[in-house]
Structure 1
């Protein structure tokens, strides 16, 4: 299919065909990659979530949506909680968000499977419920926060936020144990890929336009997203490459064993497609690929492709999590 016309000074396909993209591999992992992440997960498991319900946001589409907060090693995190008004939830979803953050109206309903509950965490520092005075809220600054050290890099706390969200949802609805799915788009997709290998509470996942894939390749590709801020930073701080290696979503994907549906774009000005496809190609378990014409950019077929993705998502989770 022809690429959309665009105003960018670079080619958002980066010259790659689908066949090219399907051959992209993940970079090698640091020797202690697994040990680093297992230690992060063990530390997260030592922090009880202590979920606390807050303000009622709205009742919509058969769901009651409330604000929620819970504890993680990086501090108290905020989320939205969506529970069925009638009946008992049979499935649960942890839903990550893009780098723009999330507002009250950002609750994604309906959920992929009927009779589901969902927790929608806010990454630490991002708008609106996740805002913190000690963490920048704009994507270009947030993605660099703490990048001087793998132990302090903000993406680690964002991953712990997903783990904590799963713990909070299971504490509130224990019957969902073994029936949790993960959804993440863009920033949330990359963070989701980093979270999945170390958390056996997730039965399946969908990652849409996931970022943070194959950092060595991403650093060579211009974009309009947070990756451009990282590219600029690395020019003057090349040592940051060593930290980024621990937060490579494609490297993490090689450790994922649960079924994953990946939705990747052929054209994407914000998240270069080679990084997206690197994550899909690296997945170590059952995988399904949905190819979209574009991501992070409006185009004529967008609504139709999103509907197709929604149908594929429902079928995917129904197959792996039951209906």
Structure 2
């Protein structure tokens, strides 16, 4: 289907006025500095699972996320590694859960640690997600996740998700087999938006790979996207005609195009010009505002599938170049894995 959005030449320079909400940095600093709900810090837990694989070790992970509540995931590591590993932390697309333990093996097969973070409340199949969302605002007026707790930034769903993501990055940096200076965050669609948010909230990342990112220039996306998930917000506002201004004020704190202005790590973006789910102008809004070194691969005749495995090949090359050279080191790279 031909693109109904801006042409590529205009997208490359598209920098719309996107006002930063009042207290943006203070809001996120306070959120990430909150103590666990019971005041008692909990350490990440790693339980090795037998997937029947001999070349990859897999761990069932539980990380204390927002409010100290557990966020689950899979940690894959190449068998036989003898030095601290670079790590790719992956956030998932809308509605997806972490899936089965043996599913996502590319990064471990390339020689890196790979943490797949479950997205709280998502994962609609029996083998999907393992992380619940029971906080206030977890129930939305409109089906889906985009309007959960949208009445205020404090109760909004993605406040919890972005905090979960930051905690997962912190967890892998503390893992004895992972080099804390060689951590890359990535994701497709929703996962790309989460990765961009993390890029602005966490210092010292080695790289960021937002792939057809969601949650960018949300006001424009809600107004031009004709298919879900952005349509959830439009549906909410059809029901609540007097809430347009406060809803977009809430969403501004979670707009990845704002977080991109705080980023410093190198970034490799992808954008698809016929994407009806994440319109290309919204993805380019984040790319053009991204404050660190950056590059973008454009898939002119693709929809939301983007570059798919073709782009994965580009990412493999890019991450290998980022991680070139010896690891920065741990006290002892032979430290045993957590039980």
Picking from 271, 280, 296, the partner of 2:304 is 296
Query: Cα offset for 1:224?
Result: 1.7
- After the TM superposition, which of the residue ranges 154-163 and 87-96 deviates more from structure 2? 87-96
Name 1:18's counterpart in structure 2: 8
The yes-or-no answer on 1:79 pairing with 2:70 is no
Query: Cα offset for 1:40?
Result: 2.0
Picking from 257, 268, 276, the partner of 2:275 is 268
Q: What secondary structure is seen at the aligned counterpart in 2 of 1:225?
A: coil
Picking from 315, 318, 322, the partner of 1:316 is 318
The yes-or-no answer on 1:114 pairing with 2:114 is no
Taking structure 2 as the reference length, what is the TM-score of the superposition?
0.82
Which structure 2 residue ranges, 5 or more long, are not aligned? 124-128, 326-339
Name 2:219's counterpart in structure 1: 216
Contact 1:59/1:65 (<8 A) preserved = no
Query: Cα offset for 1:65?
Result: 2.1
1:264-309 superposed Cα distances (whole Å, 9 cap, x missing partner) = 1101122222211111111101001011232335xxxx7xx43432
| Cα distance between partner residues in 2 of 1:150 and 1:188 | 20
Report the number of matched residues.
Answer: 307
Task: Say which structure is richer in helix.
Answer: 1
Moved over 4 A (4+): 44-49
Name 2:264's counterpart in structure 1: 257
| Cα distance between partner residues in 2 of 1:231 and 1:61 | 48
Look at both structures and tell me which one has the larger radius of gyration over its CA atoms: 2
Picking from 5, 28, 41, the partner of 2:32 is 41
Which structure 1 residue ranges, 5 or more long, are not aligned? 6-10
| Cα distance between partner residues in 1 of 2:108 and 2:12 | 27
Query: Cα offset for 1:165?
Result: 1.0
| Cα distance between partner residues in 1 of 2:235 and 2:280 | 19
The yes-or-no answer on 1:70 pairing with 2:63 is yes
Taking structure 1 as the reference length, what is the TM-score of the superposition?
0.86
The yes-or-no answer on 1:99 pairing with 2:94 is yes
Contact 1:223/1:272 (<8 A) preserved = no
